[in-house]
């Protein structure tokens, strides 16, 4: 998503993204000068300051200059701060707007945020508050610029891959992919089964400088230990019973390209030693042969196991772990990025309509709500299977709850944190009236789940989490402190 957006699109490509331009609109010259001093005294980001005494003067500056942030007084001679906010968001919705007001009114604050304001400040403004707002907005824009580059890179190379997502959590994964793809560093991809680890591995390979070379996969979990070494490193004729001809291993097949070792946590200790040597020195020996072969292979490993715990318990070599863990990409489970569910569901409906010659038009609100409540222990793969089965079994032109055939949601830990749902029995089932204490506990538990889920989906960015919850960041920080919530991504 473009960020420096009051310029023409062509201008943005060569724009100096290290400079942050601020336009302050206030009819009080003392306030303008104070803001100028505050902004010029901030080391990061490097700022350029513009001042205007009226809204109309500010609009003219917007037409002639590239502006990143507008600080507008709530009461101006010609317009209100809300009118300025509305005008700027219509002119360019990606310019950030912060309203300054001398009256601390909850209603005003709510209205500012509901109309698209990015924050509000109470006069008299303090340097610390100004600096906090500037740094936060600048870093948000930096992330958005990076996301734009990632999106362009992804879509230019991978239109045929099912990269369907909406969540910030997946965007964070793709950011790491974009940074690491063109290097030769080994990559360790972790995540539960069904999260799409091989898809990310293919993404890395196809964005890399090795994209025209082989991408070879080997699933360790599918191999008997007796055949694993030969599969990885190859063998010569007569090396063991059944070796009736020379055979190159997966390392040799991947020479010049990428070798994806799926379920690397399943590699037994004796073979870990040879795997370490192959990764560290780029050398392999076929079974039954003394010749050492020099190879150029990039290694990507994937596992759903806790390799750090396995290292502590001496089940996995620490030197191999650190050799693999140069770039670590963790793919969050689907329950931690539920904003992706509706996009994935739409994608799977389209795919399985074509595959099964069906014409399902969509999914009912009630059915989608049931999917959003479900915990998906099988992650994206499970959602895919659920939708394919529903497409086949559906009687109407829209998927409904009964088509999904989901397990009992109440026992599926469907609250986005991987844990079982708290006690949700009715007062009668509890043997009496619902007490004030019990009610408050349940409300607190619900709010904790809500906030934690928003933080997960926004990758720990509290400003984004507040926006998803449609509350101010101040309100979010206050509730996190009161409820004892720690940012899970911090």
Residues 362-400: tens digit of each pLDDT:
999 888 888 988 889 999 999 999 999 999 999 999 999
**pTM over 0.75, yes/no:** no
Q: What is the pLDDT of residue 39?
A: 86
- Give the pLDDT score at 333: 93
pLDDT for residue 10 is more than 90: no
Strand partners, 261: 218, 301
Highest mean pLDDT among 76-80, 119-123, 241-245, 428-432: 76-80
**What span, in angstroms and rounded, lies between the C-alpha atoms of 132 and 127?**
9
* Contacting residues for 239 by C-beta, under 8 A, at least 6 apart: 230, 286, 287, 288, 289
Token pair for 194: 């069904």
What would the pLDDT profile of 155-171 be if each residue is shown by its tens digit? 565 555 557 888 888 88
pLDDT of residue 444: 76
Residue 282 falls in which region: left (phi positive, over 0), alpha (psi -120 to 50) or beta = left
Cβ atoms of 228 and 267 within 8 Å: the answer is yes
Residue 405 has pLDDT above 70, yes or no: yes
- Residues 189-205 have a mean pLDDT of 93
Find where tokens 């709500």 sit: 369
Q: Is the confidence at residue 436, as pLDDT, over 70?
A: no
Residue 465, pLDDT > 90, answer no
Residue 275 has pLDDT above 80, yes or no: yes
Evaluate if residue 5 carries a pLDDT over 60: no
Residue-wise DSSP of 386-402: HHHHHHHH--SSEE-HH
Query: To the nearest whole number, what is the mean pLDDT of the chain?
Result: 82
Residue 416 has pLDDT above 60, yes or no: no
Average pLDDT over residues 20-26: 91
Convert the pLDDT of each residue in 128-186 to its tens digit.
888 888 888 888 777 766 666 666 666 565 555 557 888 888 888 888 888 888 899 99
Residues 226-253 have a mean pLDDT of 85
Q: What is the mean pLDDT of residues 304-333?
A: 93
More confident of the two residues 19 and 406: 406
Percent of the chain with pLDDT over 90: 39
Is the model more confident about 155 or about 450? 450
Higher pLDDT, 94 or 440: 94
Report the C-alpha gap between 121 and 100 in whole angstroms.
Answer: 5
pLDDT tens column, 32-41: 998 988 888 8
Cβ(240)–Cβ(288) under 8 Å?
yes
pLDDT at 425: 38
Average pLDDT score over residue span 327-336: 93
User: Any idea which of 238-242, 421-425, 461-465 has the lowest mean pLDDT?
Assistant: 421-425
In this model, does residue 242 exceed pLDDT 80? no
Domains of the chain (ranges, CATH numbers): 9-145 (3.40.50.2300), 168-332 (3.40.50.300), 335-411 (1.10.8.60), 422-490 (1.10.10)
| Lowest pLDDT segment from 406-420, 429-443, 450-464 | 406-420
Look at the chain and count its residues.
490
The predicted structure's pLDDT at residue 287 = 87
How far apart (Å, rounded) are the C-alpha atoms in residues 455 and 169?
A: 10
Please classify residue 209 by burial: count the beta carbons closer than 10 Å to its beta carbon, then call 0-12 exposed, 13-18 middle and 19+ buried. Answer: exposed
């Amino acid at each position: 998503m473009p960020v420096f957006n009051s310029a023409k699109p062509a201008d943005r490509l060569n724009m100096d993204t290290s400079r942050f331009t601020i336009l302050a609109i206030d009819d009080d010259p003392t306030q303008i000068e104070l803001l100028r001093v505050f902004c010029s005294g901030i080391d990061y980001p490097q700022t350029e300051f513009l001042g205007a005494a009226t809204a109309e003067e500010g609009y003219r500056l917007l037409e002639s200059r590239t502006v990143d942030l507008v600080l507008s007084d709530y009461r101006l001679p010609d317009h209100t701060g809300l009118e300025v906010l509305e005008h700027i968001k219509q002119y360019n919705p990606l310019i950030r707007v912060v309203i300054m007001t001398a009256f601390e009114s909850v209603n005003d604050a709510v209205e500012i945020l509901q109309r698209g304001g990015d924050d509000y400040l109470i006069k008299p403004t303090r340097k610390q508050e100004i600096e906090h707002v500037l740094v936060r907005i600048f870093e948000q824009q930096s992330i958005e610029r990076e996301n734009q580059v990632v999106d362009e890179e992804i879509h230019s190379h991978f239109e045929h891959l099912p990269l369907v997502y909406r969540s910030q959590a997946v965007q964070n994964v793709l950011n790491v992919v974009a940074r690491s793809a063109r290097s030769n560093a080994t990559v360790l991809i972790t995540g539960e089964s069904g999260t799409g680890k091989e898809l990310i591995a293919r993404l890395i390979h196809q964005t890399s400088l090795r994209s025209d070379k082989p991408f070879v996969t080997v699933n360790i979990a599918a191999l008997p230990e007796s055949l694993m070494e030969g599969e990885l490193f190859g063998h010569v004729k007569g090396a063991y019973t059944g070796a009736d001809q020379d055979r190159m291993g997966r390392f040799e097949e991947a020479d010049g390209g990428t070798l994806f070792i799926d379920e690397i946590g399943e590699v037994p200790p004796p073979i870990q030693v040879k795997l370490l040597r192959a990764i560290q020195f780029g050398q392999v020996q076929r079974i039954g042969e003394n010749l050492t072969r020099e190879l150029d292979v990039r290694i990507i490993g994937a596992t759903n196991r806790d390799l750090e715990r396995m290292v502590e318990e001496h089940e996995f070599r620490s030197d191999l772990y650190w050799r693999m863990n140069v770039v670590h990409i963790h793919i969050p489970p689907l329950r931690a990025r539920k904003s992706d569910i509706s996009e994935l569901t739409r994608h799977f409906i389209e795919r399985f309509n074509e595959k099964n010659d069906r014409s399902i038009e969509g999914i009912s609100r009630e059915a989608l709500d049931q999917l959003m409540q479900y915990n998906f222990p099988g992650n994206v793969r499970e959602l895919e299977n659920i939708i394919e089965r529903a497409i086949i079994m559906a009687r109407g032109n829209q998927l409904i709850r009964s088509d999904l055939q989901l397990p009992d949601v109440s026992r599926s830990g469907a609250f986005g944190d991987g844990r079982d749902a708290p006690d949700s029995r009715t007062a009668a089932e509890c043997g009496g009236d619902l007490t004030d204490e019990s009610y408050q506990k349940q409300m607190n538990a619900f709010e904790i789940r809500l906030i934690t889920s928003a933080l997960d989906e926004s990758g720990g960015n509290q400003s984004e989490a507040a926006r998803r919850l449609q509350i101010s960041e101040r309100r979010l920080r206050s509730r996190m402190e009161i409820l004892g919530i720690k940012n899970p991504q911090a």
